[in-house]
């Protein structure tokens, strides 16, 4: 069973491996830290992975009030800094997949002095989403999110219309419909998107921090990923080309597989 850590909020986490390198790992939307178990065989001798269940996921508590009082970047930075203190680790490695990549980028922005290196696997946060920020920041927008939980028909019809007009590709259409095809999934979209709406890393500051603290940033993408394609790496790469590396796996968006372990291990040196 997962352990729990509290510093303000509480999060559950699982521990994989026994190596000396502490790695804080953050999963994708709708998943749990258990996804990182697949990396234990390849990385467990050199790393100890602390794989968190993010808020509203897995064994971590739900905080429904955070839809109106969202988590701040400073709050998350304080939480994970306190966790690193508890490990007696002056610096840690970050591993973020998809939604978890946005968490890792935010920590790079807020507390770079605590980061040894960062692995960003198909990371969210590389592209600005003004429509999301605008909806989440306004009271009418949050009302629309709440309504979507119980009445998804119009939004799903819009997805189908955009797909039919070839403005939404097949994979993205399936991804969006698959993430919202039940009330429980739509509630999770509402809770996570609204509670994390302030976690929007500024890539120029992330890169400046990486240069100042000499933090390598390793990005991994799926060659066939249409959700977070490899070309988004350019948004970060242009700010710190000497520190950013990009690798690809022969895969789509699902990248937490045994093939990822050796690739990460090679970049750890």
The Cα 230–Cα 127 span in angstroms is: 12
Residue with tokens 């937490």: 256
Judging by beta carbons within 10 Å of its beta carbon (0-12, 13-18, 19+), is residue 241 exposed, middle or buried? Answer: exposed
The reported pLDDT for the residue numbered 2 is: 95
The reported pLDDT for the residue numbered 197 is: 92
Please work out, in degrees rounded to the nearest 5, the angle formed at the alpha carbon of residue 28 by the alpha carbons of 164 and 129.
55
- Whether 255 and 199 have beta carbons less than 8 Å apart is answered as no
Beta bridge partners of 53: 12
Range(s) for CATH 3.40.50.1820 in the chain?
Answer: 3-128+200-268
The reported pLDDT for the residue numbered 221 is: 98
Phi and psi at residue 23, to the nearest 5°:
-125, 125
The Cα 151–Cα 192 span in angstroms is: 18
CA dihedral 134, 9, 25, 118 (to 10 degrees): 60
Q: Give the pLDDT of the chain (269 residues) as one tens digit per residue.
A: 899 999 999 999 999 999 999 999 999 999 999 999 999 999 999 999 999 999 999 999 999 999 889 999 999 999 999 999 999 999 999 999 999 999 999 999 999 999 999 999 999 999 876 666 667 777 777 778 788 888 888 888 988 998 899 888 887 788 788 888 899 889 998 899 899 999 999 999 999 999 999 999 999 999 999 889 999 999 899 999 999 999 999 999 999 999 999 999 999 97
Residue with tokens 């799903």: 156
Separation in Å, CA 186 to CA 155, 193, 228 = 11, 10, 21
Strands 21-26 and 47-53: parallel
Mention the CATH class of domain 3-128+200-268.
alpha beta
The Cα 219–Cα 111 span in angstroms is: 19
Enclosing H/E stretch for 194:
helix 183-195
Phi and psi at residue 110, to the nearest 5°:
-90, -40
The reported pLDDT for the residue numbered 141 is: 78
The reported pLDDT for the residue numbered 140 is: 79
The reported pLDDT for the residue numbered 80 is: 98
The reported pLDDT for the residue numbered 179 is: 82
User: Beta strands of 64-143 (E only): which ranges?
Assistant: 92-97, 115-121
Separation in Å, CA 74 to CA 111, 119, 123, 194 = 9, 21, 20, 17
The reported pLDDT for the residue numbered 134 is: 65
- Whether 108 and 206 have beta carbons less than 8 Å apart is answered as yes
The reported pLDDT for the residue numbered 131 is: 60
Residues 6 or more apart whose CB falls under 8 angstroms from that of 64 comprise 191
């Amino acid at each position: 069973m997962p352990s729990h850590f509290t510093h303000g909020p509480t999060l559950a986490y699982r521990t994989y491996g026994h190596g000396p390198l502490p790695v804080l790992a953050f999963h994708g939307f709708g998943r749990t830290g258990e996804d990182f178990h697949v990396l234990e065989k390849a990385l467990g001798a050199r790393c100890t992975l602390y794989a968190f269940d993010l808020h509203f996921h897995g064994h971590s508590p739900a905080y429904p009030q955070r839809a109106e009082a969202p988590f701040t970047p400073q709050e998350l930075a304080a939480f994970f800094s306190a966790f690193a203190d508890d490990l007696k680790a002056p610096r840690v490695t970050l591993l973020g997949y998809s939604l978890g990549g946005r968490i890792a980028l935010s920590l790079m922005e807020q507390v770079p002095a605590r980061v040894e290196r960062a692995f960003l696997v198909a990371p969210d946060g590389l592209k600005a989403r003004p429509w999301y920020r605008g909806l989440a920041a306004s009271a009418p927008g949050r009302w629309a999110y709440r309504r979507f939980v119980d009445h998804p028909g119009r939004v799903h019809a819009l997805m189908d219309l955009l797909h039919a007009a070839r403005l939404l590709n097949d994979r993205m259409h399936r991804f969006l419909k698959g993430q919202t095809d039940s009330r429980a999934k739509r509630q999770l979209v509402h809770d996570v998107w609204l509670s994390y709406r302030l976690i929007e890393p500024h890539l120029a500051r992330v890169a400046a921090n990486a240069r100042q603290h000499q933090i390598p940033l390793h990005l991994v993408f799926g060659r066939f990923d249409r959700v977070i394609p490899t070309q988004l790496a350019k948004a970060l790469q242009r700010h710190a080309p000497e520190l950013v590396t990009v690798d690809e796996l022969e895969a789509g968006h699902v990248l937490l597989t045994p093939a990822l372990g050796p690739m990460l291990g090679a970049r750890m040196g």
